Amino acid sequence: MSVLKLFRPLSLSIGLRYAFASSNHRFATFIALLSMIGIMLGVAALIVVVSVMNGLEGELKDRLLSSIPHAVITTDRDMIAQDYDLSRIRDIKGVVAVAPQITDDVMIQGRNGIYGVSLFGIDPADYPDFDLVRASTGTKSFKSLVPRSFEIIVGWDVLDRLKNNVDDELRIISASYVKYTPFGRVPSQRLFTVNGAYSVGGMSSGMILGNIEDVRRLTHMQQGTVSGFRVWLDDPFEVGSFIEEVGRIDPKLTVKDWRVELGEFFQSVAMERIMMGLMLALIIMVAIFNMLSSLAMVVSSKVPEIAVMRTMGMSQSAIMKVFIVEGAISGIIGSVMGLILGLICVAYLDSILNVLGINLYIAAGGVGIPVQVKGLQVLMVLLVTIALSFAITIYPSVRAARQSPVESLRYE
């Protein structure tokens, strides 16, 4: 030990010397190196996959939930007074906009047939500028949705299926109101002109927008009432707490939210993220258990040295700390290197996949794989991995501390 100057605490000094000095037990050193590399790759892969899943979930949340309401405030009769006092609703935390609407499930007829869509009657003055549909269509098209204009805004994918384009006339058929004619009962219908189209990033858009008064005439909704009030939330995933607050304000109100249509889809996305995380966590666990086997072999090879340290006055707890430091150092270095490697891969993910020729997201028309690094998740991965690295060293360290110096030195 004279070659390397020791420092205090002594257990840390000896543990670091054992960790970085060349060992006679080359196989144990090789296993420890593989364990460190395994931890590094496992942590890096976990950070990359979790960041990509976060990005995809955020992208889906922005795209899919832009074409359906986050929440709709109404009553049991699906009808509410248009002048209902919304001041307390607007004050709820997380609410960013509220607007009246008249909704109906209708059939839209074009050159290529008839399709079912959802018709939303809106007031352009109340429709928020930040809405993705409005941003995609343009303010000019929204402002032209004036009463008796009988104009609508349609998704590009719907127009493609109908083989129609902007400025064409489409027939909208509503079964909410039925007229009696000499030929029998006929659903309410009218020709509307397409004045604009929107796209939500390749997602299916079964929502068409028209002026609220024009939709009222089509559906014969009673004057002074609307189907409900559409609510935009800062975080649609917090809709549960919003519903609770509405219940406290007015128990007579009913809230319909996006989970009715897309709840199961987002649950499956969240479950997929959890399962991917668990599978990658198993890679880290395998590497950590390899550390256990390598440290056990190291302890076996250093029995004489342990005996010498015991005879020189080192306590059992000090011996334990020596091997805890030696074993955990691989986990700490592997975790930190995995963190750095993972963040680098996330930052240059598109470039890396392009070099490998497997960037399917861009090949499908995307501008780049969406990634979202959450600091708390990354910190949790790092801390848990380091904690497991320390925990796995306890058994070999206890075994080393319990070595009897008399028995160990008897045949030396």
Q: Where are the domains of the chain?
A: 10-62+266-409, 69-257
Nearest C-alpha neighbor of 72 from the set 265, 239, 216, 264: 239
At residue 98, the pLDDT reads: 93
- Dump pLDDT digits (tens) for 196-240: 998 876 566 778 999 999 999 999 888 999 999 999 999 888 888
Q: In which band, very low, low, confident or very high, does the pLDDT at 170 lie, cut at 50, 70 and 90? A: very high
Alpha-carbon dihedral 250, 252, 253, 256, rounded to 10 degrees: 130
Q: In which band, very low, low, confident or very high, does the pLDDT at 364 lie, cut at 50, 70 and 90? A: very low
Q: Which residues contact 320 (CB under 8 A, 6 or more apart)?
A: 397, 398, 400, 401
The Cα–Cα gap between 55 and 270 comes to 12
Specify whether the CB–CB gap between 133 and 198 falls below 8 A: yes
- Dump pLDDT digits (tens) for 32-47: 777 788 888 888 988 9
Q: What is the pTM of this model?
A: 0.69
DSSP secondary structure code for residue 222 in this structure: P
At residue 366, the pLDDT reads: 54
Q: At what angle do helices 394-401 and 316-347 cross, to 10 degrees?
A: 160
Specify whether the CB–CB gap between 177 and 216 falls below 8 A: no
Least-confidence region, from 36-40, 266-270, 334-338: 266-270
DSSP alpha helix (H) spans, 112-258 = 132-137, 139-143, 156-162, 212-219, 239-249
Omega prior to 124 cis, within 30 of 0: no
The Cα–Cα gap between 183 and 337 comes to 78
User: Could you tell me the two tokens for 407?
Assistant: 């028995």
